[in-house]
């Protein structure tokens, strides 16, 4: 099975054929959920992420998994797919930027991950640890999750374009801590640039950053 996550998406765009807008961008999307984990010393230690892949892409992947000639069960095939996704994301910092008081916060390596089918959609979940526990003292911790090329759009789980309450949650946080999601506000020139990309094109490096929502976690003390 040689079709890891980031390289199947061009196939998805190809399969859309004439029903796809030749100037539509991005070509796939992920509904994101994040749980920020604190330790018993009130420090942030990890971002637990849940990626719900869009229905069409989920269908394409499931059909590809079913077509592979192997004696492995579907659960074993999904486990292999999860490994490929993890490995591809590792080379791109798991599509995640984390910052505190304007400075980048180093991230660790993902070892805990899974992918399963839920309600007709594939859900990839993983625990992204910080390189070191981080104490919030006077400034908010901010994260962005995005595909740098903007081939995939990543937005927090929403209802009627409003982020759901479970799109960003805190686990183990001390009193006085809260999280909220800031919408993206891309420059019109970047919007025009993205709209002009063809179905087989990816954007300039970092284009996705301009369309990314920002998760913000702040503690009063």
Distance CA 32, CA 130 (A): 19
Instruction: Please calculate the CA angle 129-135-137 and round it to the nearest 5 degrees.
Output: 145
Range of the domain at 173: 5-16+27-219
Report if residue 64 sits inside a domain.
yes
Q: How many residues does the chain have?
A: 221
Percent of the residues in the chain that have a pLDDT greater than 70, as a whole number:
79
- pLDDT of 213 reads 96
CA atoms within 13 A on the CB side of 96: 28
Residue 16 near residue 99 (C-beta atoms within 8 A)? no
Summary mean pLDDT of the chain? 84
pLDDT digits (tens, 9 = 90+) for 120-135: 899 999 999 999 999 9
Structure tokens that stand for 138 in this block: 């006077």
Q: 47 or 191, which is more confident?
A: 47
Report if residue 191 sits inside a domain.
yes
Q: H or E stretch including 90?
A: helix 74-90
Report if residue 115 sits inside a domain.
yes
For helices 55-67 and 74-90, the axis angle rounded to 10 degrees is 120
Report if residue 51 sits inside a domain.
yes
- pLDDT of 138 reads 85
Q: What is the pTM of this model?
A: 0.83
pLDDT digits (tens, 9 = 90+) for 165-197: 999 999 999 999 999 999 987 655 655 555 555
Report if residue 22 sits inside a domain.
no
- pLDDT of 16 reads 34
Report if residue 21 sits inside a domain.
no
**Band of residue 206 on the pLDDT scale cut at 50, 70, 90:** low
Residues with Cβ within 8 Å of 160's Cβ and at least 6 positions away in sequence, in order, are: none
- pLDDT of 70 reads 87
pLDDT digits (tens, 9 = 90+) for 72-98: 999 999 999 999 999 999 999 999 999
Count the domains in the chain: 1
Strand-pairing partners, residue 34, are: 49, 168
Average pLDDT, integer, range 33-38: 98
Q: Given a cut of 80, is residue 22 above it in pLDDT? A: no
């Amino acid at each position: 099975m040689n079709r890891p996550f980031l390289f199947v998406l061009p196939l998805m765009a190809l399969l859309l054929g004439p029903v796809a807008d030749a100037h539509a961008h991005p070509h796939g999307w992920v509904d994101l959920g994040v749980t920020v984990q604190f330790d018993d010393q009130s420090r942030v230690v990890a971002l637990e992420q849940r990626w719900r892949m869009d229905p069409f892409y989920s269908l394409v992947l499931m059909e590809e998994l079913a077509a592979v000639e192997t004696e492995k069960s579907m659960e074993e095939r999904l486990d292999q797919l999860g490994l490929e996704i993890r490995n591809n994301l590792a080379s791109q910092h798991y599509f995640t930027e984390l910052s505190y008081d304007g400075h980048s916060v180093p991230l660790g390596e993902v070892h805990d991950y899974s992918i399963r089918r839920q309600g007709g959609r594939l859900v990839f979940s993983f625990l992204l640890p910080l390189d070191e526990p981080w104490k919030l003292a006077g400034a908010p911790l901010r994260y962005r999750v995005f595909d740098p090329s903007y081939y995939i759009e990543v937005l927090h789980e929403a209802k009627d374009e409003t982020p759901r309450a479970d799109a960003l949650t805190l686990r183990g946080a001390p009193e006085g801590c809260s999280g909220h999601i800031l919408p993206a506000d891309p420059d019109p020139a970047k919007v025009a640039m993205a709209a002009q990309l063809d179905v087989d094109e990816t954007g300039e490096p970092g284009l996705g950053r301009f369309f990314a929502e920002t998760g913000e976690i702040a503690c009063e003390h």
